[in-house]
Amino acid sequence: MGSAGVQIVCVALGVLGLIGGIVCCAIPRWKVSSFTGQNIVTAQETEEGLWMTCVVQSTGQQQCKSYESLLVLPSDLQAARAMTIISCMVTSLAILILFAGADFTTCVENEDIKPKISLVAGIALLVSGLLLIIPVSWSAHNVISNFYNPLVAQKMELGTCIFIGWAAGVLLILAGGLLMCFSRAKSGSSGGTAKYYGNSASAPAANKNYV
């Protein structure tokens, strides 16, 4: 696959990762109520996200309430808010940088700078993937720990956004790794080019001196 093909694939992976990050940030499905053990009441389901908590009735009606204060939120939720937003911003910036330095665009005319721009975009995608996986994994760890804690009355399970966040983070890390490896290989192959001149090229000039 050529350089343009690899960059197109990375752009597609970055866009999918960005969509996944936006879904994780917007939809309140990080934690959902569990109906195991003594929690046999299935008339309503509780859903918790980064910005609000919702109660879904068995009839389909949904009521959501935003968190009243940032200071009363647990530390994992506060970190998840910040890191998810930063991840989406860094991903958007990385995609724009990749478009600017890609081989299938003419935004940058200098061919020697394009591999460096792609390398910067790859690093940004890698960082954004880590910024998305860390809060998702942290929240998942807390949910699992509380689930097996007998002192916690209301059991919660992993929501859909946890799995979407893991998938989006993996896609972003994969795109960043491809760009970094490809950019290094390309810049390394073009950096050490040497020119050699044979003796035959200087032979006519030498013969002219004897005429």
pLDDT of 173 above 90: yes
SS3 track for 132-158: HHHHHHHHHHHHHHHHCCCCCCCCEEE
Q: Report all structural domains of the chain as residue ranges with CATH numbers, in order of start.
A: 4-28+74-151+159-185 (1.20.140.150)
Per-residue model confidence as pLDDT tens digits over 26-76:
999 999 987 765 555 566 788 899 999 998 887 778 888 898 887 788 888
Q: What is the pLDDT of residue 138?
A: 94
Per-residue model confidence as pLDDT tens digits over 90-146:
999 999 999 888 887 778 777 788 888 889 999 999 999 999 999 999 999 999 998
Q: How far apart are CA 120 and CA 94, in angstroms?
A: 8
Q: What is the pLDDT of residue 76?
A: 87
Q: What is the pLDDT of residue 60?
A: 75
pTM of the model: 0.80
In this structure, what are the phi and psi dihedrals at residue 96, rounded to the nearest 5 degrees? -65, -40
Count other Cβ atoms within 10 Å, centred on residue 149: 10
